[in-house]
Amino acid sequence: MTPDQLLADCQVPVLGICAFSGTGKTTLLKKLLPELSARGLKVAVLKHAHHNFEVDKPGKDSFELRKSGADQMLIASSNRRALMMERPVEGDPDLKELLALVDQRHLDLILVEGFKRLPLPKLELHRAELGKPLVFEDDALIQAIACDSATVLPADCALPQLDINDVDAIADYVQGFIAAWQPVANQPFGPQGSAEGRSQLSVQQGIDHILSLVKPVSETETVALTDAIDRVLAVPAISPINVPQHTNSAMDGYACAFDAAIEQYQLMGTVFAGHAYDGQLQAGQAVKIMTGAPMPVGSDTVIMREMASEQDGMVRFDDGVKLGEHVRQAGEDIAVGEQAAAVGERIKPATVGLLASLGLAQPTVYRRPKVAIFSTGDEVCSPEHDLKPNCIFDSNRYSLHGLLAKLDCDIIDLGIIEDNQAAMEQALRQAAAEADVVLTSGGVSVGDADFIKDALATTGEINFWKIAQRPGRPLAFGQIGKALFFGLPGNPVATMVSFMQFVQPTLRKLAGEANWQPTLIRAISTTALRSRVGRTEFVRGTMQLGAAGQLQVSSTGAQGSGMLSSMTQANCLIIIEEAQDHVNAGDSVWVQPFADLL
Ligand code: AMP
Ligand code: MG
C-alpha cells in the first residue's frame, strides 16, 4: 500500500513515530503532547499494543459485559468516551481501518506509534547508545530525524536533523509539518500529465489529450424559449428588470405601516395581484392585500390573515407581528443589470424559467454539435431486419443515439458500414465532411481486420490507444479533416463507458459548455470488488441510501463488457482507482452517477 492509498480518506495530517524500543518514544511523547496542546493543537495518538492488552479492569461493568459477549462496548460519561471492539485479526490490525475510527472532525494531527513498516510520513527517533542502525537509509518516507549528539549521520543525509532532547524544536517541526500538509489529491481517473514510462494512457491522460484538441463551436443562433432547453447560452442573460419588479406581499393578509402602539387600523380597501393601491397609506391605515400584490406607498409590513380580526371597517392584529415581515423587496431575486445566466451555461428547466421571468424570450445559443455515427462489422445486423446466422443485432448505434440525444447533438446516422476498405473510406469522408465529430464502434481492437485501420490511416490522422481501463481498453482517436474521430470499442458496455468518459467531455466542450466536470460522489460499497493495479475499473453499480442515511453502492453482478443488461440495471459506475486491486465490502469508493447522461 502507498501512503496515498493509506491516507486517502484522512482529513488531517498523519505522522508516524519510528524508533527501536528503548529509544524513549513514550518519554518524548509525554513531553511533546503538552507542548503541542499548549500551542492550541489537538492531537490524536494511535498506538500499537500487545495482542492481549486491556484498558479495562475485571469487576467493572464494562469489563464484565464485554466478557459476557458484547461485540462492541461503548462506555461514555460527560467527560470521556471509550469504544472497545473485539476484532481478532492475523498480524497487525489494518491501519486504514483504524484511522477511519478516529474522530477527525476537531483534530490537527494523528501521531501513529508502534506499527512496523508504516507506509506514511514518519519522524525517526535515534539514540546512539542503543547501537541500532538508522532506519531512514532504507525508508524513503522518513521526513526528519531526532537524535542525540552522539549520533553521527552520514554526510549526504539531507533530512532535517533535530535534537531528541529539545522538545521545543521537535514541536516546531511538527507544527511546520501540519502547516505544510495537503490532503491526498483525488485522481479517480488515474494520473494526469505525461504518460512517459506507462504502456497505457490513464483515463485522465486520455481525456486531457483529447480535450486539448477540442475547439468549441462559435456559430450562434437565436431560439424561442421553448426550444432553448438543453442548449448552451452564447450571450450572457443580463436582467433588464428587477425581479420582482415591485416590492410586494409574500402573503394573503393586511399591509400597513406597522406600529405596535396602534391598537386598530382603518381598512382602506383591497389590493389584488396585478393591481395597485392608488393612494398613500397613512399611520393607522391598512389595506387587505393578496400575495404578489404591490405594497402600497407608506406600508412596510404584511400581517397574515390568521393573525388579524376585522370588524366594522377596522382591523386588529394579534401580538407577535414583526416589523417588515412577509414583504418581498423589488429586485431581491435579480436586480436590473445583474447576470442571471452566464455564457457556457447549459439551459435547464430552471434556467429557461428564469429567462422567461426576465422577459428574455429569444436567448442566443451556440449551434448544436453535429455528430456522425456508424457501426462496423460484417456480423452486425440491423434490428429492423431478420437476424442472419452467426450475426448480432446492432445495439451500439442505438445506445449512441440515446447518449447523443441527451447531449442535444444533431445526429447524422450512416447506418452499418460493411467490412471493406472502400466502403469504410467513403463513409469516413462523408461523415467528416458533414460533422464536427465522427463516432464509430467496433473494429479498433487488436486482432480486428486491418482494413478499418488502413481506411483510417488513408483518411485521417488517427492514434490507436490502449487506455488503462476496463471495460473499453482500445480507443482510436484523431482527426479526419476538421472533424474529430473516435473509434469506440465494439463491445456494447465498452462503447457506452468510453462514450461517457471521452466523448461526453468532448461534446460538452465543443457545444460551448464551460468548465464541465463529471459528477463524482463517495459511497460505501456493500460488495467486495476486484480489479488490477494499474487500470481504472468501471463497475456497473446501483446506488441507494442505506438504512443509516449513508449512500451505498453495490455491483450489478456479472460484468461482461457485452452485457448491456448490466447497464440498464445500473444507475452509476463504481470507480476502482488505478492504485487499488480490490475493494472490500464497507470501503468507501468513487461513484459516477448516470444522472448526467443516461
Ligand atoms: P470489435 O471491437 O469489433 O472487436 O467488437 C467487439 C465485440 O463487440 C464483438 O463481439 C462485436 O460483435 C461486438 N459489436 C461490434 N459492433 C457492435 C454493434 N454495433 N452492436 C453490438 N455489438 C457490437
Ligand atoms: Mg469488429
Ligand 1 is surrounded, with C-beta below 6 A, by 375, 377, 379-380, 392, 394-397, 441-445, 448, 489-492
**Nearest-ligand number for the alpha carbon of 489:** 1
Architecture of the domain delimited by 521-593? Beta Barrel (2.40)
Pocket test residue of 391, 491, 497 for ligand 1, highest count of atoms within 8 A of CB: 491
Q: How many Å lie between the centroid of ligand 1 and the Cα of residue 596?
A: 25
> Cβ(300)–Cβ(325) under 8 Å?
no
**Nearest-ligand number for the alpha carbon of 446:** 1
Q: How many Å lie between the centroid of ligand 2 and the Cα of residue 424?
A: 13
Strand partners, 122: 16, 142
Grid cell at residue 114: 508502534
Grid look-up 527517533 returns: 125
Q: Which residues of the chain does CATH 3.90.105.10 include? A: 220-238+340-366
User: Domain 3-48+92-180: which topology?
Assistant: Rossmann fold (3.40.50)
Long-range contact set of residues 473-478: C-beta below 8 Å, sequence gap at least 24: 473/200, 473/445, 474/444, 474/445, 474/446, 475/206, 475/444, 475/502, 476/444, 477/206, 477/209, 477/210, 477/502
> Cβ(23)–Cβ(146) under 8 Å?
no
Pairing of strands 142-147, 161-163: parallel
Predicted pLDDT at 5: 80
Q: Which residues of the chain does CATH 3.40.50.300 include? A: 3-48+92-180
Grid cell at residue 199: 504502456
Ligand 1 atom closest to the Cα of residue 474 is: 2
Q: How many Å lie between the centroid of ligand 1 and the Cα of residue 490?
A: 4
> Cβ(41)–Cβ(33) under 8 Å?
no
Strand partners, 35: none
> Cβ(342)–Cβ(236) under 8 Å?
yes
Strand partners, 523: 589
Q: What is the pLDDT of residues 68-79, one digit of tens each?
A: 999 999 999 999
The CATH H-level (homologous superfamily) assignment of domain 248-328 is Molybdopterin biosynthesis moea protein, domain 3. (2.170.190.11)
Q: How many Å lie between the centroid of ligand 1 and the Cα of residue 397?
A: 11
Q: How far is CA 429 from CA 80, 217, 375, 438, in A?
A: 74, 21, 15, 10
Instruction: Give CA angle at 343 (340, 344), nearest 5°.
Output: 120
Q: Which residues of the chain does CATH 2.170.190.11 include? A: 248-328
Alpha carbons 313 and 221: distance in angstroms, whole number: 58
Q: How many Å lie between the centroid of ligand 1 and the Cα of residue 447?
A: 13
Residues 6+ apart with CB under 8 A from 282: 257, 298
User: Domain 370-507: which topology?
Assistant: Molybdenum Cofactor Biosythetic Enzyme; Chain A (3.40.980)
Predicted pLDDT at 448: 67
Count other C-beta atoms under 10 Å from residue 282's C-beta.
11
**Nearest-ligand number for the alpha carbon of 491:** 1
Predicted pLDDT at 384: 95
Alpha carbons 239 and 565: distance in angstroms, whole number: 47
Closest Cα partner for 538 from 509, 559, 568?
Answer: 559
Q: How many Å lie between the centroid of ligand 2 and the Cα of residue 202?
A: 24
Predicted pLDDT at 78: 97
Q: Which residues of the chain does CATH 3.40.980.10 include? A: 370-507
Q: How many Å lie between the centroid of ligand 2 and the Cα of residue 377?
A: 5
Q: Which residues of the chain does CATH 2.40.340.10 include? A: 521-593
Ligand 1 atom closest to the Cα of residue 441 is: 16
Q: In degrees rounded to 5, what are phi and psi of residue 207? A: -60, -50
**Nearest-ligand number for the alpha carbon of 441:** 1
Ligand 1 atom closest to the Cα of residue 395 is: 20
Task: Print the SS3 string covering 484-550.
Answer: EEEEECCCHHHHHHHHHHHHHHHHHHHCCCCCCCCCCEEEEECCCEECCCCCEEEEEEEEEECCCCC
Domain covering 220-238+340-366 in this structure, CATH number: 3.90.105.10
Nearest CA to ligand 1 atom 10: 491
Instruction: Give CA angle at 294 (289, 296), nearest 5°.
Output: 75
Pocket test residue of 391, 396, 563 for ligand 1, highest count of atoms within 8 A of CB: 396
Give the three-state DSSP class for 476: strand
Predicted pLDDT at 451: 80
Q: What is the pLDDT of residues 91-106, one digit of tens each?
A: 889 999 999 999 999 9
**Nearest-ligand number for the alpha carbon of 561:** 1
Q: How far apart are the first and last CA of the chain?
A: 35
**Nearest-ligand number for the alpha carbon of 379:** 1
Alpha carbons 116 and 95: distance in angstroms, whole number: 11
Ligand 1 atom closest to the Cα of residue 448 is: 4
Nearest CA to ligand 1 atom 6: 490
Nearest CA to ligand 1 atom 5: 490
Grid cell at residue 59: 469487576
Q: How many Å lie between the centroid of ligand 1 and the Cα of residue 597?
A: 22
Give pLDDT < 70 ranges for the chain.
Answer: 448-449
Q: How many Å lie between the centroid of ligand 1 and the Cα of residue 396?
A: 8
Ligand 1 atom closest to the Cα of residue 494 is: 8
Ligand 1 atom closest to the Cα of residue 394 is: 20
Q: How many Å lie between the centroid of ligand 1 and the Cα of residue 495?
A: 9
